[in-house]
Amino acid sequence: MNRVTLRKTIIACAAMAAALLLAIVLMSLLGSEPLPVRASLCALASFGTNACGLTQDQFDILFQIRLPRILLAAAVGGSLATAGAGYQALLRNPLAEPYLLGISNGAAVGTMIALVFFGAIEWTRPILAFSGALLATLAVYRLARGRAGATPERLILAGVIVTTFLSSVIVFVTVLMDATRIRSFTFWLLGDLSGASKTLLPVTIVIAIAGALALTLHARSLNLLMLGERDAFDLGVEVGRVRIVVFLVASLLVGSSVAASGSVGYVGLVVPHLARLSLGSDNRITIPAAALGGALFVIVADTVARTVIAPRELPVGAITALIGAPLFIYLLRRA
Amino acid sequence: MTLEGHNITVAYDHRIAVADVTLSLKQGEITSIIGPNGAGKSTLLRTLNGQLPRSSGAVLLDGEPIERLNRRSISRRIAVVAQEAELRFPVTVVEFVLGGRFAWATHSGWGWETERDVDIAESVLRETELSDLSARLMNELSGGERQRALMARALATEAPILLLDEPTANLDLSHQATLLSLVRARCDQRRAAALVVTHDINLASEFADNILLMKQGRTVHSGKPEQVLTPEILHDVFEIRVLVDAHPVTGGPRITPVHEPISVNRDSRSV
């Protein structure tokens, strides 16, 4: 029978986890400063003890700059792809994506308020980003919901309204900043992984993993919710409760990733779509596969972003949008 | 297994949709609700399922007020067939039908279908003649096939109470009969109770044991088909002249609407 089983899920996730691990190792060797392959692999395998012949500079590049950045890319990618899959099931629409719906902008406004008013206190950023994402999610949900759920047109329009409104809020706050910070800030808005903060990185990783698990644990309910709230209710899903869980978890994922890296767009669209294309629509496999695939996707995109015009860098959001926008058009035409 | 509604009234912002309706579904019997558009038929069905709140009255499932039961325990006992499935995601027929087993899972969110779940899905797919299509995507099916898949999913719940809202709307003649025969078989073999909302009075006459005739939210008549489906009663409710004679095969009431020409002047009709 043509359906997803636990066995298939475990095999697919194990294969993707292996690919992710491989990508983390390989991508940490790539960059504007070439590192000796054998010594770097040896240092990575011994978890950061430098007995492998790397110079102190090389060692620092590997462990202080590249590895934290790659881990942040993984956490951000996993978070955004998981959140995308969650929003898609909740809004019953494969076009739902945190960046396109303005939810990333909501989180960005929250982060900016934290930067401007509580600049020194780092942990206020994810908290305010989460609040911003949550408010933006509620706004989109209320605007997009019609009698037949969120139709593609209505959802996109709701996203446009929320995005443009929040963009103008962002412009207002930017004006309040001093000129020297505006450039780095603009870069951050487009999605920038270079600023991996020592304190926020572990938080971002923990939230990414916990969020993916939380949504995976509701995957079977989401499978039914995806086909209509009334049907899901009839079949025994506690629709109200599941809806709140997805709202909270997805907003938390978007909030923490935006606070750490700005708005990396289209990850939540591209990755769940590829997961469904190759593995089917069952959220019990789509969500964990999207989480792992998102991590992989952003690691690779960020490696491209920091190497194509090295020593200068592109914002990773520019790379993901370059891939995501054409796919979005394709999906929209089909819907 | 019993489902009873006592003096159910449902009002939406001052508009009364269902007014003081009492009914009881009996094991082994099909009850059909008929009535003009806007009579409150679907609203009544949604209230019996615990989805719509009542203004007054009670819904009792096995003697317990339905609002005290959790969703999954209701869904193991009441299955609904409506026409809602939104198919924006590619879902296979078998995945769709296995959705009917959700309420039986030991964990509400995670958890996988058991061998028994898969056996049940295979057997209802056979019953609904969808076995050959089980690996196909739902949005590749015709309207009629999709309606059968909805029915298959409801049967897969193994709920002893079936609530069906216009189940035959998209079906051709032969599949209308097949679908209602499936409902009949559940009632005969497993002592299920079914409630069917329909616009097809002849189908109701053929398959239902009891008919509830509604108009403007109220029960106008209820009873056996031959008691309810009389020319006088139908004329009162539908405001149309009908002929009622004996069905040549079943002997039950057969209803033929008599369409009188509408008297409008010729010029306005000739467009």
Among A8-22, A72-86, A192-206, B212-226, the minimum mean pLDDT is found in: A192-206
Across A129-145, average pLDDT: 89
- Residue A6 counted as domain residue: no
Residues 198-227 of A with CB under 8 A from B: 216-221, 223-224, 226-227
Q: In this model, does residue B236 exceed pLDDT 60?
A: yes
User: Chain A: nearest CA to B120, how far in angstroms?
Assistant: 13
A148 touches chain B (CB under 8 A): yes
pLDDT at B241 over 70: yes
Average pLDDT value over all residues in chain B: 89
Average pLDDT rounded to a whole number, residues A99-116: 89
Query: Of the candidates B72, B86, B94, which has its C-beta nearest A2's C-beta?
Result: B94
State whether B51 and A230 contact (CB < 8 Å). Answer: yes
The pLDDT of residue B85 is 65
Helix (H) or strand (E) holding A322: helix A316-334
Residue type, A321: A
Report pLDDT for B264.
Answer: 60
pLDDT in tens, A274-315: 999 889 889 999 999 999 999 999 999 999 998 888 778 888
Burial class (CB in 10 A: 0-12, 13-18, 19+), A99: buried
Q: Which residues of B touch A286 (CB under 8 A)?
A: none
The reply to whether A232 falls in a domain is yes
Q: Which residues pair with B241 in a beta bridge?
A: B258
Q: Provide the residue type at A186 as one letter.
A: T
Compute the Cα dihedral for A96, A252, A144, A239 and give only its sign. positive
Q: Which domain holds residue B10?
A: 3-268
What's the average model confidence in pLDDT over A191-213?
A: 88
Most B-contacting residue of A145, A235, A245, A333 (CB-CB within 10 A), to test interface: A235
Task: For residue A226, tell me if it sits in a domain.
Answer: yes
Q: What is the pLDDT of residues B107-136, one digit of tens each?
A: 655 788 889 999 999 999 999 999 999 999
Is A23 within the bounds of a domain?
no
According to DSSP, the residues that pair with B13 across neighbouring strands are none
Statement: residue A1 has pLDDT above 50? no
Q: What is the CATH number of the domain that holds A109?
A: 1.10.3470.10
DSSP B143-205: HHHHHHHHHHHHHHTT-SEEEEESTTTT--HHHHHHHHHHHHHHHHHH--EEEEE-S-HHHHH
Both tokens assigned to A253: 């994922």
Q: Provide the token pair at A260.
A: 């750490």
Q: Do the domain assignments include residue A258?
A: yes
Position A239 pLDDT exceeds 80: yes
Q: Looking at chain A, which residue has its C-alpha nearest residue B80?
A: A234
Q: Is A4 part of any domain?
A: no
Cβ B86 vs Cβ B80: under 8 Å:
no
Q: Please state the pTM of the whole predicted model.
A: 0.89
Sheet holding B3-12, edge to edge: B15-25, B3-12, B56-61, B64-65
Question: What are the two backbone dihedrals, phi and then psi, of residue B213, each rounded to the nearest 5 degrees?
Answer: -100, 120
Taking an 8 Å cut-off on Cβ atoms, the answer to whether A280 and B111 are in contact is no
Any domain includes A112: yes
The tens digit of pLDDT for each residue in A159-183 reads: 889 999 999 998 888 887 777 777 7
pLDDT at site B184: 93
Residue B271: the pLDDT is: 39
Residue A333, pLDDT score: 77
CB atoms near residue B82 (< 10 Å): 21
| C-alpha separations of B65 from A232, B21, B44 in Å | 21, 16, 16
User: Do A299 and A58 touch, CB atoms closer than 8 A?
Assistant: no
The answer on pLDDT for A187 being more than 50 is: yes
pLDDT, residue B109, reads 59
What is the CA angle A28-A29-A30, rounded to 5?
Answer: 95
Least confident stretch, A38-42, A70-74, B94-98 = A38-42
Residue carrying structure tokens 């993916």: A212
Boundaries of domain holding A314: 78-334
Distances from the Cα of B119 to the Cα of A118, A298, B258, angstroms = 60, 42, 48
| Average pLDDT, integer, range A94-115 | 89
For B148-182, write each residue's pLDDT tens digit: 999 999 999 999 999 999 888 878 888 888 888 99
Task: Indicate whether A179 belongs to any domain.
Answer: yes
Copy the structure tokens of residue B182: 């499936």
Task: Give the pLDDT confidence score for residue A2 in this predicted structure.
Answer: 63
Q: Which of A94, A227, A242 sits opposite B85 (nearest CB)?
A: A227
Dihedral in degrees, nearest 10, Cα atoms A141, A142, A144, A149: 80
Pair B224, B210: CB distance under 8 Å: yes
DSSP bridge pairs for B164: B81, B196
CATH code where residue B150 lies: 3.40.50.300
Q: What is the pLDDT of residue B105?
A: 87
Distance from CA of A331 to the nearest CA of B (A): 11
**What's the pLDDT score for residue A166?**
92
The pLDDT assigned to B95 comes to 93
Please give the full DSSP string across chain B, using - where no structure is assigned: --EEEEEEEEEETTEEEEEEEEEEEPTT-EEEEE-STTSSHHHHHHHHTT-SPPSEEEEEETTEEGGGS-HHHHHTTEEEE-S-----S--BHHHHHHGGGGGG-SSSSS----HHHHHHHHHHHHHTT-GGGTTSBGGGS-HHHHHHHHHHHHHHTT-SEEEEESTTTT--HHHHHHHHHHHHHHHHHH--EEEEE-S-HHHHHHH-SEEEEEETTEEEEEE-HHHH--HHHHHHHH-SEEEEEE-TTT-SEEEEEEPPPP---HHHH--
For chain A, where are the E strands, in sequence order?
A: none
Which whole-number Å values give the CA distances from A121 to A125, A180, B59, in the listed order? 8, 20, 55
List pLDDT tens digits, range A139-163: 988 888 766 556 667 888 888 899 9
Contacts of residue B143, defined as CB under 8 A and 6 or more positions apart, other chains included, come to B170
Number of domains observed in the structure of chain A: 1
